[in-house]
Copies of this chain bind each other. A is one copy, B any other.
Amino acid sequence: MVQQDRSYKEKKVISIGTVSELTGLTLRQIRYYEERKLIHPHRNERGTRKYSFADVETLMDIANKREEGVQTTEILKEMRTKEKKQITEAQARKKMLEGQLNAQFRHRR
């Protein structure tokens, strides 16, 4: 169920016009941020861009940063360090689970 909800957030089904309404950004801005590698919409068969809710949230973060005068290059760097942090956290969680499993295993034998 949670997994299912997760997929709603990641599934790329929203067209650029709707994304524009949701974020308040212009089509030009949305396409430009893609050019700068800040977002990665899917393309359907005819080449139309499709975005996820996660993309919409990223775009809103970008809009805030841009209002503060942060350049797209900086925003990209920030996003990458954040990603790394999240991966590290995920690995930490995994290690912890493995540790618990090992502890269990030791108790059993």
Contacts and interface: CB of A to CB of B under 8 A. Distances in A.
Contact size range, A: 10 to 19
A5 interface: yes
A32 interface: no
Copies of this chain in the oligomer: 2
A22 B42 CA distance: 15
Specify the main secondary structure of chain A where it touches its partner: helix
A18 B51 CA distance: 12
Contact of A9 (B5, B13, B21, B50): B5
Contacts of A15: 15, 18
6 contacts: A5-B5, A8-B8, A8-B53, A13-B14, A14-B14, A21-B44
